[in-house]
Amino acid sequence: MPRVAKKHLPFDEWPPEDRVVWARTFESDVFDEDNKTAHLATPTIVGHRTAYARYLGFLTQYDPERLACAPHDRIDVDSMRAFDAHLREACRATSVASLLHTLRLTLGFLFPAQDWSWLKTAAKHIAAGAVPRGDAARGVTSAQLYTVGVALMTTAEEELASSGDVTLQTALLYRDGLIIALTALVAPRRRTLTAFTTERHLVKTGECWLLDIPVADTKTRRALEYPLPDAFSQHISRYLSRFRDVVLGAKDHDGLWPSLRGRPMAGGSINDMVRRRTKDALGFPVNLHRFRLAAGNFWSIADPANVRGVKDLLGHSSFDTTQKHYIGAQSRLAGRVLAKLL
């Protein structure tokens, strides 16, 4: 059987020069004064490595002669033009622009003496010419998603009141509702949400709960703290006392979201569940990352004067990131309102 070409070239198959420069750039001692990547979180470094591996995979399959060149010499406009055409065969223009943007940042770290501004310009042109895909989830707000979560928990409580006993399906219904409502409330990243435990992340003060997220569980390496409202704290208490331990194996670990496999839910499983539940309730699926956009949507509409607070809610180190990626819906939603009035 012929060998199937890999889209992403595995690290151990990279040219030796590339592996050396990668190690020197991304794996050097944090005490090295020349280390320009020490501030990057592990998922970010993985993203850089994936983008570079994708380009090396393309060269291996379609332009192997370039691999004989020095790493910084093999990348030019002609090569990137061919790579762009290759990517467009399977990816939307927005995805191509995103990958090229990440690759440009990667190259800047690997070969800082080179000028990569031309690649930044190309990525911007591709992004500007991309036709957005229709996406109903882009206009959803945190308020709508919070309502979905509360509705699921309310249904579970009604089933409990009717039967007098917590079944597995009722427990899962309450768990799923709590996940959706909590994510709508504080908009954590998927990795952070998945890491939540009953012991390290939940702190009770009186009758209320505090969500305490340590540096190790955040992308920006900043500790986050969210006092949870009284009404929501009651949901947390009810979940821990009546529903969580009904899930088989939940008592054997401290993961906040137990799965049917006797261990905490994985990020992919949580995302699949959220998409399924939101599609049932709203008519369209909303993935976990869209909850962060929903927070920007809600805040920019409900309290535009203090919209900079979204930065702290989402755990961003700069408001520029918040403004660029998460506060883009106000004009679009205002246009819908006007259209409806007309």
Q: What is the pLDDT along the chain (342 residues), one digit of tens a residue?
A: 344 457 899 999 999 999 999 999 988 665 666 678 877 777 788 889 999 999 999 999 999 999 999 998 899 999 999 999 999 998 888 889 889 999 999 999 999 999 999 999 998 898 888 766 555 556 677 888 889 999 999 999 999 999 889 999 999 999 999 999 999 888 888 888 999 999 888 988 888 888 888 878 766 667 777 788 888 899 999 999 999 999 999 999 999 999 999 999 999 999 999 999 999 998 889 998 888 877 765 555 444 444 444 444 444 344 444 444 444 444 344 434 433 432
Give the model's pLDDT for residue 14. 95
Asked whether residue 194 falls in the same domain as residue 92, the answer is: no
As a whole number of angstroms, the distance between CA 131 and CA 231 comes to 42
Asked whether residue 155 falls in the same domain as residue 110, the answer is: no
Give the model's pLDDT for residue 253. 95
Residue 241: which residues within 8 A CB-CB, separation 6 or more? Answer: none
Note whether residue 3 is domain-resident. no
As a whole number of angstroms, the distance between CA 293 and CA 282 comes to 16
Give the model's pLDDT for residue 273. 96
Note whether residue 6 is domain-resident. no
Of 92, 108, 129, the residue that ends a domain is 129
Asked whether residue 188 falls in the same domain as residue 317, the answer is: yes
pTM: 0.63
Of 70, 102, 129, the residue that ends a domain is 129
Asked whether residue 244 falls in the same domain as residue 316, the answer is: yes
Asked whether residue 182 falls in the same domain as residue 307, the answer is: yes
Asked whether residue 54 falls in the same domain as residue 94, the answer is: yes
Asked whether residue 196 falls in the same domain as residue 311, the answer is: yes
Give the model's pLDDT for residue 318. 45
Domain that holds residue 200: 137-341
CA-based R_g, the chain, Å = 23
Note whether residue 183 is domain-resident. yes
Residue 198 phi/psi, 5-degree rounding, is -80, -20
Note whether residue 71 is domain-resident. yes
Note whether residue 1 is domain-resident. no
Q: Give how many domains the chain has, as a whole number.
A: 2
Tokens of 308: 């900079």
Note whether residue 24 is domain-resident. yes
As a whole number of angstroms, the distance between CA 298 and CA 139 comes to 9
Whichever domain contains 144, its CATH number is 1.10.443.10
Note whether residue 207 is domain-resident. yes
Residue 25: which residues within 8 A CB-CB, separation 6 or more? Answer: 36, 37, 109, 110
Of 129, 146, 172, the residue that ends a domain is 129
Asked whether residue 189 falls in the same domain as residue 121, the answer is: no
Q: What angle, 0 to 180 degrees and rounded to 10, lies between the N-to-C axes of helices 267-282 and 288-302?
A: 50
Asked whether residue 182 falls in the same domain as residue 310, the answer is: yes
Asked whether residue 265 falls in the same domain as residue 334, the answer is: yes
Asked whether residue 124 falls in the same domain as residue 159, the answer is: no
As a whole number of angstroms, the distance between CA 126 and CA 322 comes to 22
As a whole number of angstroms, the distance between CA 103 and CA 111 comes to 12
Note whether residue 248 is domain-resident. yes
Alpha-carbon distances of 210 from 189, 225, 228, 292, rounded to whole Å: 18, 7, 6, 20
